[in-house]
Amino acid sequence: MQPGSTQDPAPLPWLTRLQALFDQKYRLSRALVGRAMDGFGAEWAADFESVLETFCADDEALQAAVKGYVAFAMDSMRRQKAFEASGAYPVKSYAQAADEVYLNDAHMMQEYLPGLLLSHFLWPHHYRQLRFFDTAFVAPMALGAQPRFAEVGVGTALYSRRLLSRVARATGAGYDISPSSCRFAERHLAAAGLDQRYTMHQHDVLDGGLDPVPWLVCVEVLEHLERPVEFLRALRAGLAPGGKAFITAALNAAHADHIYLYRSGEEVLAHLHAAGFVLEQSFVATAHAPASAGAPVPAAAAFVVC
Among 45, 70, 158, 173, binds ligand SAM (CB under 6 A): 158
Stretch of 146-154, 236-244, 266-274, 277-285 contacting ligand SAM, by CB under 6 A = 146-154
Shortest Cβ 58–ligand SAM spacing (Å): 23
One-letter amino acid for residue 42 of the chain: A
Nearer to ligand SAM, 147 or 155 (CB): 155
Q: Kindly tell me which of 112 and 277 has the beta carbon lying closer to ligand SAM.
A: 112
Chain centroid to CA 108: 14
> Where does the chain show beta strands of DSSP type E?
148-152, 171-176, 198-202, 213-218, 239-251, 279-286, 299-305
Q: Which residues partner with 300 through β-bridges?
A: 250, 285
Instruction: Please identify which residue in 66, 200, 205, 300 interacts with ligand SAM, judged by CB under 6 A.
Output: 205
Does 262 contact ligand SAM by CB under 6 A? no
* Rounded distance between C-alpha atoms, residue 177 and residue 179, angstroms: 7
Among 19, 54, 129, 181, which residue sits at the site for ligand SAM (rule: CB under 6 A)? Answer: 181
202 neighbors 177 (Cβ within 8 angstroms): yes
Q: Which of residues 37-76 bind ligand SAM (CB under 6 A)?
A: none
Strand partners, 250: 300
CB of 206 to ligand SAM, least distance (A): 5
Nearer to ligand SAM, 3 or 210 (CB): 210
Candidate list 115, 155, 172, 174; residue touching ligand SAM; CB under 6 A: 155
Q: Which one of the spans 75-83, 154-162, 187-195, 292-300 is the region binding ligand SAM (CB under 6 A)?
A: 154-162
State the minimum distance, in angstroms, from the CB of residue 220 to ligand SAM: 4
Tell me the window of 37-45, 59-67, 76-84, 198-206 that interacts with ligand SAM (CB under 6 A). 198-206
Cα 104-126-56 angle, rounded to 5 deg: 60
- Which SS3 state, helix, strand or coil, does residue 202 take? strand
**Distance from C-alpha of 156 to C-alpha of 144, rounded to nearest angstrom:** 25
Closest CA to 232 of 252, 251, 210: 210
178 lies in the site for ligand SAM, by CB under 6 A: yes
Distance CA 32, CA 52 (A): 16
How many angstroms separate the CA atoms of 111 and 256, rounded?
12
Is residue 116 involved in binding ligand SAM (CB under 6 A)? yes
Task: Mark the segment that binds ligand SAM (CB under 6 A) among 4-12, 21-29, 79-87, 169-177.
Answer: 169-177
Q: Using the rule CB under 6 A, is 159 a contact of ligand SAM?
A: yes
Longest dimension (CA), the chain: 54
Position with the least CB separation from ligand SAM: 155
At a CB cut-off of 8 Å and minimum separation 6, what does 163 contact? 138, 141, 147, 149, 151, 170, 172, 215, 217
Site string for ligand SAM, 95-114 (x = CB under 6 A): -------x------------
Strand partners, 86: none
Residues that bind ligand SAM (CB under 6 A): 102, 116, 152-156, 158-159, 175-178, 181, 204-206, 219-221, 224
